[in-house]
Chain A
Amino acid sequence: MAIKKFAVGCYDDEAVLFPAVDKVRNSGYKLHDVYTPFPVHGLDKALGQKDTDLHVAGFIYGLTGTSTAVGFMSWIFTSDWPINFGGKPHFSLPAFIPITFELTVLFAAVGMVLTFCYLNQIMPGVKKHVFHPRQTDDLFVVALEINDQTSEQEAIDFLKSTGTVETSVQIAESEWWYGRFDKEEEYEKLNPAV
């Protein structure tokens, strides 16, 4: 939880956004984030983000599922409640494979969805500051972090020079928080721009 000051620039064209992101990264200003109404191909590379490790997590969840299924079924059918099915041995691996497969997929899928939500900070009830209401509609929004030593006017002028259609300075929560809308009046008083 940290309240910070942001210089916000809005663009209405991808072709302007990409050079602008480049300029911001080279300018020395701290880039907070870029918000787009739809997934923009190549923006992750332009922002210099590294590849996600989500698939490594998926592999580990899958292995957990595999060992849970094999271990649990082996225990049930050999020591806890052995039953003779058509003369098959108690520990008959081929019969365990379908359930092992299903549990591997289930663990990997559910685990990856939850990890994805955690990494992207999306969950029911999780709130994040919205820099511009049209960032989910038709505007690409770039937010720069500024502080007391930064000249607001210089940051805004810099953003304007990259081709914005709209700019503003906002004081806002930089991380996510958990809350309900009816309890947020206090926060909104802090930041009349919202």
Chain B
Amino acid sequence: MNERFEIPGKLKKMSFALMLVGVLVLIIGGATLLTGDATAQTRFWIVLLQNSVFFLLLTVASIFIQAAASLAQGGWIVAYKRIPEAIGQNVWIFGVIAMIVLFYIVFGFNVHGHNPIYHWIHPEGDAILEGKSGFLNPLMFAVFTFITIGLWSYFGHKFRSLSLQQESAPKNSTKIYWTMVKWSAGFLLVYALTQMSTTPWMWIMSIDAHWFSTMFSWYVFASAFVSGMAVILLFVGALKNNGYLQLVTKEHMHDLGKFLFAFSIFWTYVWFAQYMLIWYGNVPEETVYFKIRQQGPYAMIWYSVFIINFIMPILILMSRPSKRNYFTITFMAMMIIFGHWLDFYIMTMPGPLGANWSLGWYEIGVFAGFAGLLMFVVYKTLAKASLIPKNNPLLKEAILHES
């Protein structure tokens, strides 16, 4: 049984190549876009915002699944527990990147005296934005972002260190297990007050500052959670391909597949609920958000998002054999990550860029860079401890798991 993980050369090279692409694209982008006109500069920053927030939220989803499994006393997750732990441990890296990007956009980004991404920075003369300035102002934004990212990073680190302590604890001791339950309850509270309510309002919804939707955070959560599960599944698959994680069987993959399927449906439910209420109400200040996305220049992306994130999962993932097949499940995990990345694209781009959107070398390159960074840091963390959470009271249940 391979307990100690050593990063296979192929994966290491792949993550370095992806990171190199990201860095190169950032340098070329900085040289060409940042010296260009207002649209080019806005494109440079909004793509960074989209990707850093997307990757931060999907890594935080790993902390959430640990907390949820711990509170529900879910045993099956223990078989590959080190992977969500390693992703959670590295939340701070993506948090710091997102914080730099967000703080620069709020405090440093300025084109001809106004902020093309966050209009609420200068609310003077706009009655709606002045009315929202109690919540949407730079100081509130800074404090809130700092506290949110700090708490997420702390919990990600705490969960992993608790789980590692369990290995050296006396045999059959459940003390740390119950400590973990308490911390999990705390994290759910933090998560509910940040990711599930206020954070997406501040970081993403405020790009379209005049528009609001009370369902928006749930919708972002569904997007982030399903792509977070897809990322965990891809890591499990990659490790199994290299001969690690023999304890993870088709039964565990089947249950991960169920998560992908169920939360794709959940995403569609929230996505449609938000859309339909606004479509039915037909109030101009609300429908303007969907006008540009559904009927305007973004129509193609809008329908691709729907097809990739709903039609494909429901048709491909519904049957039992396809959830137990490594090829279909890995393929669908990749499609779902791409689909939800496009979903974040369509949340962020239309506000600042309007019809001048582009999906080219810069967007794909930045995405590749973030993906490479995620692979590199997670593999590095995985190599630091045993892959099997020995001494965990639920380990036996995880091994015997049948879905």
| Chain A residues in 8 Å Cβ range of B275 | 94
A91 at the interface (CB under 8 A from B): no
Nearest chain A CB to B321 CB, angstrom units: 10
**Chain A, 95-123, contact with B by CB distance < 8 Å: what is the 0/1 string?**
10110000000000000000000000000
B272 at the interface (CB under 8 A from A): yes
Nearest chain B CB to A39 CB, angstrom units: 14
**Chain B, 298-323, contact with A by CB distance < 8 Å: what is the 0/1 string?**
00000000000000000000101000
A124 at the interface (CB under 8 A from B): no
Nearest chain A CB to B257 CB, angstrom units: 15
**Chain B, 277-303, contact with A by CB distance < 8 Å: what is the 0/1 string?**
001101000000000000000000000
A59 at the interface (CB under 8 A from B): yes
Nearest chain A CB to B325 CB, angstrom units: 16
A48 at the interface (CB under 8 A from B): no
Name B278's closest neighbour in chain A (CB-CB): A94
Alpha-carbon separation in the docked complex, A76 to B267 (Å): 30
Chain A interface bracket (under 10, 10 to 19, 20 to 34, 35 or more): 10 to 19
A86 at the interface (CB under 8 A from B): yes
Contact A94 B279 (CB under 8 A): yes
B17 at the interface (CB under 8 A from A): no
Contact A97 B272 (CB under 8 A): yes
Name B279's closest neighbour in chain A (CB-CB): A94
Name A98's closest neighbour in chain B (CB-CB): B276
Nearest chain B CB to A8 CB, angstrom units: 31
Alpha-carbon separation in the docked complex, A94 to B273 (Å): 10
Q: How many A-B residue pairs have CB under 8 A?
A: 16
Alpha-carbon separation in the docked complex, A88 to B282 (Å): 10
Alpha-carbon separation in the docked complex, A59 to B320 (Å): 13
Contact B276 A94 (CB under 8 A): yes
| Chain B residues in 8 Å Cβ range of A51 | 320
Nearest chain A CB to B49 CB, angstrom units: 30
Nearest chain A CB to B403 CB, angstrom units: 13
Nearest chain A CB to B299 CB, angstrom units: 16
Nearest chain B CB to A112 CB, angstrom units: 15
Which one of A55, A59, A94, A97 has the greatest number of beta carbons of chain B within 10 Å? A94
Name B272's closest neighbour in chain A (CB-CB): A97
| Chain A residues in 8 Å Cβ range of B318 | 59
Alpha-carbon separation in the docked complex, A98 to B282 (Å): 18
Contact A95 B280 (CB under 8 A): yes
**Chain A, 59-86, contact with B by CB distance < 8 Å: what is the 0/1 string?**
1000000000000000000000000001
Contact among A55, A59, A94 for B280, CB-based, below 8 A: A94
Contact A86 B276 (CB under 8 A): no
| Chain B residues in 8 Å Cβ range of A86 | 282
Which of chain B's residues 305-352 have a Cβ closer than 8 Å to chain A? 318, 320
Alpha-carbon separation in the docked complex, A51 to B279 (Å): 44
Nearest chain B CB to A86 CB, angstrom units: 6
| Chain B residues in 8 Å Cβ range of A95 | 276, 280
Contact A97 B282 (CB under 8 A): no
| Chain B residues in 8 Å Cβ range of A87 | 282
| Chain B residues in 8 Å Cβ range of A98 | 276
Nearest chain A CB to B260 CB, angstrom units: 18
| Chain B residues in 8 Å Cβ range of A55 | 320
Alpha-carbon separation in the docked complex, A98 to B275 (Å): 12
Which of chain B's residues 201-225 have a Cβ closer than 8 Å to chain A? none
Which one of B280, B282, B318 has the greatest number of beta carbons of chain A within 10 Å? B280
Which of chain B's residues 231-285 have a Cβ closer than 8 Å to chain A? 272, 275-276, 279-280, 282
| Chain B residues in 8 Å Cβ range of A94 | 272, 275-276, 279-280
| Chain A residues in 8 Å Cβ range of B276 | 94-95, 97-98
Nearest chain B CB to A61 CB, angstrom units: 14
Nearest chain A CB to B349 CB, angstrom units: 24
**Chain A, 8-44, contact with B by CB distance < 8 Å: what is the 0/1 string?**
0000000000000000000000000000000000000
| Chain A residues in 8 Å Cβ range of B280 | 94-95
Nearest chain A CB to B258 CB, angstrom units: 13
Alpha-carbon separation in the docked complex, A55 to B261 (Å): 16
Nearest chain B CB to A65 CB, angstrom units: 15
Alpha-carbon separation in the docked complex, A87 to B281 (Å): 11
16 contacts between A and B (CB under 8 A): A51-B320, A55-B320, A59-B318, A86-B282, A87-B282, A88-B282, A94-B272, A94-B275, A94-B276, A94-B279, A94-B280, A95-B276, A95-B280, A97-B272, A97-B276, A98-B276
Which residues of chain B have a CB within 8 Å of any CB of chain A?
272, 275-276, 279-280, 282, 318, 320
Given A94-B276, A95-B276, A97-B272, 13 new contacts (CB under 8 A): A51-B320, A55-B320, A59-B318, A86-B282, A87-B282, A88-B282, A94-B272, A94-B275, A94-B279, A94-B280, A95-B280, A97-B276, A98-B276
Closest 5 CB pairs of A and B: A94-B276, A94-B279, A86-B282, A97-B272, A97-B276
